[in-house]
Homo-oligomer: A and B are copies of this chain.
């Protein structure tokens, strides 16, 4: 093996991410080859359905790769590039601005060494756009032109890309009030084979501390036609769940700062609801209501079978100035220590044994993987250990995750890979990365005679395809 020299982006090497030790590499390669071409199942992510329904060409490389991707803008910002200089929030960008932003990224390319952003971008540039040199200041302009040209080619329209990526199921994440018209349109198109399904993003409808809660509740009640009381409110949520399920949804997503749950008597929930609606709830009451509503979501899953994904432990919009200027979700989430064990106990004692219920736990505090999430998934039939997410969705952390949870729960209670991305073009690169890393992890177990190669072959197929389907009950819902 000769180490790669700089003219080749990492995306080029066929054995990238596989371990260097020759025996392990051979085993890993044997495993990887079994799954490299399996269809992609993406049961949780953030590609907008409108992008596919409208199917308009991407404007330019900047609006494809930079401004919407806070993984990228965050690190440029950390190196002193103001977001305004990149054009964040100012889309659509002028050609001049787009070109300038692209150049900034190219100039900072070396700053991304060691990050998955660089790995994914290079994989996309090589694999999708046929670029074969590393971006830098000298080739920024030429690359911008080359990529722009491709983006005007019909083969690079959003739907064409999705089809070329071999994506079988693609879940979006949607506002509780969404009309889901784009999903309906995509489903009605017989020429488009990918199953694009919505996900009900729920916290803005259950957390009175959320800035949109009041507006959302009012709209939900208006839609469902009930009184302003907790029964109508719960019924309105159940109705939205049914609508989402009719459009193909298999899950509800809930992103909260902590994992507290409570099972409240209906009278207590009703009282807190009214206090919250009147704006009289104390912070403690707001938290109690939210904790109670997480359990109500689980209760409703008994009837409609929707999976609940919990994304817990991020101080969102940490920087007040950034939030004021650009709004939410611009890359300044900062993780917190998270306590799943105490938090989930009420919910799990009540609903954890329900065979109709699946709860997938995602954390930004990796210490909870071995300490709490695996022990919970290793006892409750309903609980699944969600794949590494956000800051933890990178090679080193993915391998730490496998090391942390497998001893407790084997592979069958792990969620399989979840890309959770809004960067459409990166989807195949992310799934491919996961398949390579899982092959690498399994090659260790095989080479140390902890698993046979046949056992590992079965597991790599499960992790790549079967487990995400089983965790999200895709079979159950007929997808």
Contact = CB atoms under 8 A, between A and B. Distances in A.
A376 B397 CA distance: 17
Contact of A23 (B20, B403, B444): B20
A41 interface: no
A366 B372 contact: no
A446 B4 contact: yes
Given A19-B448, A119-B450, A78 B380 contact: yes
B396 A407 contact: yes
A349 B334 contact: no
A17 B450 contact: yes
Interface stretch (A94-102, A387-395, A416-424): A387-395
Given A371-B365, A407-B397, A448 B349 contact: no
A319 to B, nearest CB: 6
Nearest to A443: B20
A376 B334 contact: yes
Contact of A341 (B320, B334, B392, B397): B334
Contacts of A21: 20-21
Contacts of A458: 110
Contacts of A333: 375
B379 A394 contact: no
B407 A116 contact: yes
Copies of this chain present in the complex amount to 3
Nearest to A388: B407
B449 A10 contact: yes
B114 A411 contact: yes
A363 B38 CA distance: 41
B10 A115 contact: no
Which of A18, A24, A79, A337 has its CB near the most chain B CB atoms (within 10 A)?
A337
A407 B366 CA distance: 14
A3 B452 contact: yes
Interface string A437-479: 0000000111111111111001100000000000000000000
A221 interface: no
Contacts of A331: 379
B334 A315 contact: no
A224 interface: no
Contact of A8 (B3, B315, B377, B452): B452
Given A78-B381, A110-B458, A367-B367, 13 more contacts: A4-B453, A5-B452, A78-B380, A78-B383, A79-B413, A113-B459, A114-B450, A115-B408, A116-B407, A332-B379, A334-B345, A337-B337, A396-B407
Interface of A: 1, 3-6, 8, 10, 13, 15-21, 23-24, 27, 74-75, 77-80, 110-116, 118-119, 315, 318-321, 331-337, 339, 341-342, 345, 348-349, 352-353, 355, 364-367, 370-372, 374-381, 383, 391-392, 394-397, 400, 403-404, 406-413, 444-455, 458-459
